Amino acid sequence: MTATQWIYLAGLHSLGFAVFHMAFWRIFGWRKTLRTATVADRAIIQILNLRLIYVALGVAALCFLFADELHSTALGRAVLLGMSLFWVGRTIEQFVFLRINRPMVHALTALFVLGAVLFAVPLWMPA
């Protein structure tokens, strides 16, 4: 596979997570479950989720529209490295904050590792 193809896959990964986060209100029943949170916590959780959706969509757009630049420029390679480290960090945080032994949690952990790999592989390919 070419670096561009890896970057397109990273874009699909980001787009998938954006869609997944858009469903959080329904998946986690936030209308009901967040009622018991403080006003500040309720706002912070929802605002952070909306901003994460925005970032994931932005990263997906970068991957689809600027794949060659992401691979061949210093700035693009810095973005790829940053996103790979984002997913490495998210994987670590999974073990720190979500210690639940359920198949869905393990599947999500695998998807976080996949994100780290998808964004890192193009860095190893010649520009």
| pLDDT > 80? residue 127 | no
Find the mean pLDDT for residues 27-54: 97
The pLDDT score that the predictor gives to residue 37 is 97
Check residues 17 and 127 and name the one with the higher pLDDT.
17
**Crossing angle for the helix pair 3-22 and 103-120, to the nearest 10 degrees:** 140
| Alpha carbons 24 and 41: distance in angstroms, whole number | 16
Find the mean pLDDT for residues 58-85: 98
| Alpha carbons 23 and 88: distance in angstroms, whole number | 23
